[in-house]
Structure 1
């Protein structure tokens, strides 16, 4: 199930439930049941692997201490057969809310002592909230049964390319923004921001054998998970990463634990605390063994997205070792308190990233003192300005600050990434190309005009700035305002200064500008050709550019075939996109000496195509090559007795789509079907034309619907039959008469009905034939179809990039030509001609004495103009 399908299911269920409970609470229930299903399924899988049959396991009770301990020692918990999620589903009408209460109570009893910290109280939010699902046990049971039916299809195997719980959390917060309230969004760091932070952190840690990472305000845990995934791309063993998390709110803390467990992280690699980060700092120790487990907690990486500008109690904090060196944040804004907490817990060679409101860069008072100390002690490494409206519940601009304990340099990299995003509803979203560009610049510490700049500490300290880190002081990302040349506006011509703005193109194509424009030694040029698009595309230097691109990408598709299709079952999916990206950038670098094609635009093309490819690869690596020949039922939601009911509507390929298989293996049948569909479209158009020929009086008859915009087919057929019988033929009827038109409409309606029936029959036959074809494909045929699905669209879109670049150039040139095509003199002449024409028309008017005096005065005024 992909994200979109999952979202659709959740929203349908949420719509049914939201009249009963608050949106934010609904989120907690659905996440709790998802986690219970995960633990239940995991236990069943373990039991099967241990050789238990269904009959054997159903006989295991709490009294069987030895067997129960075996499960608890390996999993950390035990769930008896009668309490399994699958058992709840099997009970159908016998299921009751009491089953859930008993199961959750039993779970709490059966946690292994070594895993109490991880599992104890993890279902408290769900357990205490069951009564809110209805005011009677029957209503609660019904609500839970609906949730179980929804949850049973949600993927639980950890193979998805996204954080399931985090995605559901974010989706519900977004859809229920009005109900959930502003603060709900504070728990969740948008996926794209998590990925950006993760890539920066992972690059710093990529060569280490073991890694400890910590989120001091963990929320749903998604930020930790994304960092773990990013680091795992560079490591051989993902179990060498240890996760530490701290969260204040209990229900959100439970979500952190659920999320980490569900992603397959070893229980021993998860350390969590439900505590106030600012008031109740680590060290960490196990209450059962405080001496040997004592850990002051210094880590390789610390990340956080704390609540912005939160009030806190700074009293006596000046002696706290976290703040003693730098100063104490003001009580009205704890932003720097969170930052200094994170910095304190870094190892000397560690790295941290924190998301904070933009104000931390320039606010004065205590914050100004702390900021100065961070700069003077060379802790601040990078500042990344993010777009506004990127977080749920707040539109304020935010920044990512990257800090280190020890640095070899003192400069600070400023990145203004506020302009790069895609608009999605009310929110802005970082695209893959934005994340890649920011990451590359941060890793290389590169200065890119209008985007980033490496600023020496002396400039930050100077009198002009005085430790003010407001990004526009150091990076100017503003677009130049459009200007109008006065001479060109009066006399025409295109200012060379405005043509010079396209310098990259003129540098790449030195002879193109003189081929397009007359250059007479003045500061203005005149168009030399009427068809700019044709002149540009046919120019020798442009055709050479296209040939260079084609040459650079010679062999790219075979290379992709070898890397993706040839190694589909063994390649490392998380690393593969980066390998393809390296190859893509390397080939783009060979296209001419001037980089006209934005490599990040090319990367976005790659990422757009990579996402579905990655899903297919995960299916193949999980289920084997045979998954390409699997056809699954296609379920849709339909209304039945006023309720949404899921029913099967045909089939769909698990990996190979039906339409692709039909194009490759059933062209003849597909063409015949398309021909009939085209005939049907003509018939529908003919019916619309016939409908126009009837009068409003005619449309009031029973042969038309109440709105008069459609025929009633049965009534038309009946009346036409009677008319033909009465007239003994239609030749005597006036073609423009109602009777003749109805008889003709009946014939066309009959043809429409016949075509629809034939199309439905042929489509159904083709559908079943395609199903059979997929199930019997040879390996070679599968390879060819995967090439058509994965590689051909990607390569075709990449090959279209040079054309898109030249379209962009032509559009800019045409805009310049149009801008100065009509001069002030042209406008003045047109106005004068219009005024003269108006004076002539005024002279032809007649009226009373006062009317004529008014007309004369208007003519005088027009003459003066």
Structure 2
């Protein structure tokens, strides 16, 4: 399984296992055990690298103080053999919840003093929550054993595994958040929002070699981690990033620390704190040595998603250096208190991003004063309006505010990104293309119609320092208007055609050829073959040729980048390299949305990046690995994991079949089509049956024939068949039943020349056996042709189709299994050149195909636009009214032919009068 499949599998299982435990609470248990497994596996790997034998490892205990000190000095903690995660698994039925309690207690005692702040109390939430996993020791043990079995497959031993582990960790956090409702906001920022903030900050920090980043409301730590990942794209040594985190809730604070450690971040680069950010600012010293450790916290970047509009204690905060310059946030809304706290901790060249409710842009009172001071001191760099319903547990609109400690300019870039999203379940999500467009607009500080605007401080002053986004950027959809003249008399208004000026600029001759020339403000379509006129037009052909020229060698470029450099390319940076090339190719191409092209790249990138990680860490031969495909099945009321065939570790089976086993695949697909056609023909006949026949011939669900019923109806039908020959044969059978002698049979033959006697096998003495006569009778019946649309003809067809369906199903099952196993052996025997060809087909071809389809999408949209304009006024109101009047008069004349009593006729007369308009 890839990391997406593994994460999904673990989530599905965990969600079932949690039973009645709240999702927000259960996450602490599964994530806690994941972290313990991580530390346990890390220690085992370290010991193996230090040449500890298995016997040495099994002998490790607290009593071996020399080894304990050595391991603690290297890792920061020590876990005895009996407490290792792998040892728990080996215990089998002997495992008990007490083993976990003892292990967690021992861990707390055996932390190195140098790592106390990273590891101290990190398992407290898990330790105190074990009792909630069951009513007694047995049920707790069962629940924990199930969890251990669930997470034991997660790899945690190398750099690539950090990515898998981190992906699963965040996937689970996000999934639990989605199920936790309003409680989710306390610990989770949606991944795409986190990435958006991180990309903006990373660009600002890209030239720095040592970086400090800080999240004062760290939650799960995902914001910090994503900034680190984004910044690392521009650095050669990710270990030169230091992470500062502060979180109020202890269980969430533990999540932060676990998440940071599991991402492979050095403990020395993690400084986390469990405290109230607003009440207890970051300590400037170590409590144990306040004089020699005095160090104010100033960082290169701050990122935060604080709780929205919560109450806070602002008493006696006027002199607090965080707020003294700008003012105090109101007691009922701490939004600006968090913002000013973040700003205070920035270095002079620092940058920050904070998520806040939309109200901070326009609310009055103290918030307006703070906003004014921030603007006048040039701190606010950009405001990004996000889609509503993007955060779990709240549907309120939110904004990201980008601030800098020191800016030369006083203008503010305002971005309305509220309309760019896709719907996923109940929530709205930003796509990669949405994020890219927002980031580009912020970094380039450019105006984009209905999206972004660079606003001067002077304009903001005129608005009373109100930053409400609609005052500056109008992203609302244009209201459709109707031209009164065209509505009454027809024609297409030129002003409505003018609204699509970008198309006519790109295709100047097309407009003249599509519409008639007119001195009035109205024109008509110049052709009835509008679609062909557009697609075949010289301007369109030039546009397509221009696009194709720009991307003429794009496939070769991608192949050289991804296939040629797969072992050495920087995975984190490569998507940006490819997108820059795509954007450059599109520079002089009108109408094609470069962000749509970027989305085509990103749609494939996660899969490509995952493959590259595998190949760079395991080599090209990893593409020749085939793994068991595991599914969950119920057996004896219990769900069990069983193998269901095989799957490629890197190369999908269907890809290999399409390229190397096409003959076998084509043959199988032909049988599958034949089966589909047979099944479709059967369904067609079912639909044609009368209700009475359905009751007789179909199952209770009325969706399939009952074979016995078909046989019974056809048998009766054959028995009822009457032809001269069949009648004579039935008479012969009656004679034979009455023991007719040879002379009597010979006489019967002479008087019935209508029977083809030569086709009935006779005995040596010339007489006939009953079995042979009956066999011939069946032959005659079978050869009888029923009327084409008769029930009998349909049932005979169904009989043949059912036989065909059964045979095809058996053949398809056998052929599918044969092809599956052949694919397995084919992958395992691939030559390196074949692997590269298949990777090219998997990575390069889909991107190229998606991007080369973009010009046609532009043309199709233009065709729809022109057709809509033509249809809009194709039928005038005058014509509609005239047809309605004609229909009313026609109906009125029909009333004369109706009869009824006096009251009916009076009513009809009045209705007739209304119809005639009298």
What is the TM-score of this pair, normalised by structure 1? 0.95
Structure 2 residue corresponding to 1:835, chosen from 869, 883, 888: 888
Cα distance between partner residues in 1 of 2:910 and 2:806: 70
- Aligned partner of residue 318 in structure 2, secondary structure: helix
- Per mean C-alpha deviation after superposition, the further-off stretch among 144-153 and 228-237 is 144-153
Alpha-carbon deviations, 1:483-518, whole Å to 9, x = none? 000111011110010000110111111110111110
Change (3 A) 1:311 1:690: same
Q: 1:654 is matched with which residue?
A: 649
Cα distance between partner residues in 1 of 2:67 and 2:552: 62
Alpha-carbon deviations, 1:525-575, whole Å to 9, x = none? 110111221111101111011001111111111111111101111100000
Q: Aligned-pair distance for 1:455?
A: 1.2
- Per mean C-alpha deviation after superposition, the further-off stretch among 802-811 and 289-298 is 289-298
Q: Aligned-pair distance for 1:741?
A: 7.0
Structure 1 residue corresponding to 2:168, chosen from 156, 164, 172: 164
Correspondences of 1:442-461 after superposition (within 5 Å): 442-461=442-461
Q: 1:670 is matched with which residue?
A: 665
Cα distance between partner residues in 1 of 2:668 and 2:715: 31
The answer to whether the aligner puts 1:810 opposite 2:805 as a matched pair is no
Cα distance between partner residues in 2 of 1:713 and 1:287: 85
Q: 2:532 is matched with which residue?
A: 534
Change (3 A) 1:509 1:646: same
Q: Aligned-pair distance for 1:190?
A: 0.6
Correspondences of 1:687-706 after superposition (within 5 Å): 687-691=682-686, 705-706=699-700
Change (3 A) 1:718 1:288: farther
Q: 1:546 is matched with which residue?
A: 544
Q: 1:729 is matched with which residue?
A: 778
Q: 2:560 is matched with which residue?
A: 562
Q: 1:709 is matched with which residue?
A: 703
Q: 1:187 is matched with which residue?
A: 187
- Aligned partner of residue 400 in structure 2, secondary structure: strand
Q: Aligned-pair distance for 1:782?
A: 0.7
- Per mean C-alpha deviation after superposition, the further-off stretch among 678-687 and 511-520 is 678-687
Q: Aligned-pair distance for 1:749?
A: 2.8
Cα distance between partner residues in 1 of 2:904 and 2:796: 61
Cα distance between partner residues in 2 of 1:361 and 1:552: 44
Change (3 A) 1:640 1:309: same
Q: 1:478 is matched with which residue?
A: 476
The answer to whether the aligner puts 1:788 opposite 2:783 as a matched pair is no
- Per mean C-alpha deviation after superposition, the further-off stretch among 853-862 and 52-61 is 853-862
Whether the 8 Å contact between 1:382 and 1:412 is mirrored in structure 2 is yes
Whether the 8 Å contact between 2:415 and 2:438 is mirrored in structure 1 is yes
Q: 2:722 is matched with which residue?
A: none
- Aligned partner of residue 732 in structure 1, secondary structure: helix
Q: 1:770 is matched with which residue?
A: 823
Correspondences of 1:368-383 after superposition (within 5 Å): 368-383=368-383
Cα distance between partner residues in 1 of 2:80 and 2:72: 12
Cα distance between partner residues in 2 of 1:161 and 1:782: 27
Change (3 A) 1:694 1:820: closer
Q: Aligned-pair distance for 1:751?
A: 2.9
Whether the 8 Å contact between 2:177 and 2:188 is mirrored in structure 1 is no
Cα distance between partner residues in 1 of 2:29 and 2:364: 44
Alignment: residue pair count: 855
Cα distance between partner residues in 1 of 2:908 and 2:792: 59
- Per mean C-alpha deviation after superposition, the further-off stretch among 551-560 and 151-160 is 151-160
Change (3 A) 1:402 1:490: same
Q: Aligned-pair distance for 1:521?
A: 1.6
Whether the 8 Å contact between 2:7 and 2:168 is mirrored in structure 1 is no
Cα distance between partner residues in 1 of 2:690 and 2:335: 73
Whether the 8 Å contact between 1:447 and 1:453 is mirrored in structure 2 is yes
Cα distance between partner residues in 2 of 1:709 and 1:309: 58
- Aligned partner of residue 311 in structure 2, secondary structure: coil
Whether the 8 Å contact between 1:161 and 1:614 is mirrored in structure 2 is no
Cα distance between partner residues in 1 of 2:550 and 2:496: 32
Correspondences of 1:230-241 after superposition (within 5 Å): 230-241=230-241
Structure 2 residue corresponding to 1:506, chosen from 489, 499, 504: 504
Alpha-carbon deviations, 1:272-298, whole Å to 9, x = none? 000000001012433333333322100
Q: 2:609 is matched with which residue?
A: 614
Correspondences of 1:302-317 after superposition (within 5 Å): 302-317=302-317
Question: Any gaps of 5 or more consecutive residues in structure 2?
Answer: 720-770
Structure 1 residue corresponding to 2:910, chosen from 844, 852, 857: 857
Structure 2 residue corresponding to 1:496, chosen from 470, 494, 497: 494
Q: Aligned-pair distance for 1:399?
A: 0.7
Cα distance between partner residues in 2 of 1:374 and 1:163: 37
Change (3 A) 1:555 1:692: closer
Change (3 A) 1:693 1:345: closer
Change (3 A) 1:847 1:742: closer
Correspondences of 1:24-63 after superposition (within 5 Å): 24-63=24-63
Cα distance between partner residues in 2 of 1:16 and 1:552: 52
- Aligned partner of residue 453 in structure 1, secondary structure: strand
Q: 1:106 is matched with which residue?
A: 106
Alpha-carbon deviations, 1:685-714, whole Å to 9, x = none? 33334545766666666x853334323568
Change (3 A) 1:93 1:721: farther
Cα distance between partner residues in 2 of 1:395 and 1:552: 43
Alpha-carbon deviations, 1:632-683, whole Å to 9, x = none? 1111111212222211110011111111111111111111111211222222
Whether the 8 Å contact between 1:13 and 1:147 is mirrored in structure 2 is no
The answer to whether the aligner puts 1:394 opposite 2:394 as a matched pair is yes
Change (3 A) 1:23 1:715: farther
Cα distance between partner residues in 1 of 2:915 and 2:795: 61
Change (3 A) 1:719 1:836: closer
Cα distance between partner residues in 1 of 2:30 and 2:707: 48
Whether the 8 Å contact between 1:182 and 1:394 is mirrored in structure 2 is yes
- Per mean C-alpha deviation after superposition, the further-off stretch among 163-172 and 350-359 is 163-172
Cα distance between partner residues in 2 of 1:203 and 1:225: 16
Whether the 8 Å contact between 2:155 and 2:165 is mirrored in structure 1 is no
- Aligned partner of residue 798 in structure 1, secondary structure: helix
Q: 1:684 is matched with which residue?
A: 679
Cα distance between partner residues in 2 of 1:418 and 1:155: 39
Alpha-carbon deviations, 1:223-265, whole Å to 9, x = none? 0000000000011110010000000000000000000000000
Correspondences of 1:326-345 after superposition (within 5 Å): 326-345=326-345
Q: Aligned-pair distance for 1:832?
A: 1.1
Alpha-carbon deviations, 1:96-151, whole Å to 9, x = none? 11111111111111111100110011111111111111111111111111111211
Whether the 8 Å contact between 1:720 and 1:746 is mirrored in structure 2 is no
Change (3 A) 1:149 1:716: farther
Correspondences of 1:222-233 after superposition (within 5 Å): 222-233=222-233
What is the TM-score of this pair, normalised by structure 2? 0.90
Cα distance between partner residues in 2 of 1:239 and 1:721: 84
- How big is the alpha-carbon RMSD for the aligned residues of Structure 1 and Structure 2? 2.2
Q: Aligned-pair distance for 1:329?
A: 0.8
Q: 1:211 is matched with which residue?
A: 211
- Aligned partner of residue 323 in structure 2, secondary structure: coil
Cα distance between partner residues in 2 of 1:855 and 1:690: 46
Change (3 A) 1:460 1:689: closer
Q: Aligned-pair distance for 1:806?
A: 0.5
Q: 2:623 is matched with which residue?
A: 628
Cα distance between partner residues in 2 of 1:540 and 1:744: 54
Q: Aligned-pair distance for 1:761?
A: 1.1
Over alpha carbons, which structure has the higher Rg?
2
Whether the 8 Å contact between 1:160 and 1:618 is mirrored in structure 2 is no
- Aligned partner of residue 527 in structure 1, secondary structure: coil
Alpha-carbon deviations, 1:741-769, whole Å to 9, x = none? 76764544333222211111111111111
